[in-house]
Amino acid sequence: MQRKKIAVIGIGSFGKLFVQYLFDDGHEVIAIDKDPAIIDSIKDSVTIAVALDATDEHALRSQGIADVDYAVIALADDFETSIICADSLKKCGVKNIYARYQTPLQMKVLELLGIKDLFNPEERAARSMAETLSFSGMRSSFLLSDEYSVVEVTVPKRYISKTIAEADLRHKYNINVITVKRPITNKEAKRASDSKGERILGIPHGNTVLHEDDVVVLFGSQTDLSKFLET
């Protein structure tokens, strides 16, 4: 994985988790928020934590914002600030800007400003949760876009003891099997809660046999995945 320089502006509940994950993954993370108390609380979880007004173009430039690979506007409750910040980032020469929105109107306004990479974590989480509860056997889902998803599904009974080639999901449903998670038991574990786990089989071959309780990780369009899950 290539180490990237990423600025995250707006450190709320989402922003705190986001910068932590980025930092844990080895990226250079610049956390920006106007509240000194918030900045102080996360200074050990990022590369640089700085309290400043994200609408101040000169203040942003002082942090070398033009050199970042990505700038993420994670503000949730102050859309006016998000707009001004987005404009300031563009003036600073930041090429890759991601911006958070909460309503369709906010999305349209950001698009008019030329911000193409937009996200709504609440909407994605809600849709993912709804899908997980809607389909029997689904363990989790991750929305890659409005059209495509990655889902984890317990192997349906009709495919138990069949190979991936025999299941033929690619041709029947136009979905791809990314990998298979297989339950394992650690007999040396001291606690019962630690005795069960999962082994990822890597990129599966056509002759991989699907076992009961296996979890298949699938990629496809929302439409094609729904057809498979509803069958």
| pLDDT confidence bin for 33, thresholds 50/70/90 | very high
The whole-angstrom separation of Cα 69 and Cα 158 is 46
Predicted confidence (pLDDT) per residue in 177-206, tens digit: 999 999 987 766 556 555 578 899 999 999
Q: Which residue has the tokens 């970042």?
A: 68
Predicted confidence (pLDDT) per residue in 97-145, tens digit: 999 998 989 999 999 989 999 988 887 777 767 666 656 677 888 877 7
Region 17-34 average pLDDT: 93
The whole-angstrom separation of Cα 115 and Cα 109 is 9
Of the listed ranges 24-38, 134-148, 186-200, 204-218, the least confidently predicted one is: 186-200
Other CB atoms within 10 Å distance of the CB of residue 188: 7
Q: Evaluate if residue 156 carries a pLDDT over 80.
A: yes
The whole-angstrom separation of Cα 153 and Cα 155 is 6
How much is the pLDDT for 188?
65
- Are 76 and 12 spatial neighbours (Cβ–Cβ below 8 Å)? yes
How much is the pLDDT for 226?
87
The whole-angstrom separation of Cα 169 and Cα 186 is 32
| pLDDT confidence bin for 164, thresholds 50/70/90 | very high
How much is the pLDDT for 212?
92
Give the strand order in the sheet containing 97-100: 48-51, 28-33, 5-9, 70-73, 97-100, 117-119
For residue 62, give both structure tokens: 């002082």
The whole-angstrom separation of Cα 188 and Cα 63 is 51
Residue with the larger pLDDT of the pair 44 and 134: 44
How much is the pLDDT for 132?
61
The whole-angstrom separation of Cα 68 and Cα 15 is 17
Predicted confidence (pLDDT) per residue in 46-91, tens digit: 999 999 999 999 999 999 999 999 999 999 888 999 999 999 999 9
With residue 84 as reference, give the H or E element that holds it.
Answer: helix 79-92
Residue with the larger pLDDT of the pair 195 and 227: 227
How much is the pLDDT for 205?
92
- Are 138 and 229 spatial neighbours (Cβ–Cβ below 8 Å)? yes
For residue 214, give both structure tokens: 């296996």
R_g (Cα) of the chain, nearest Å: 22
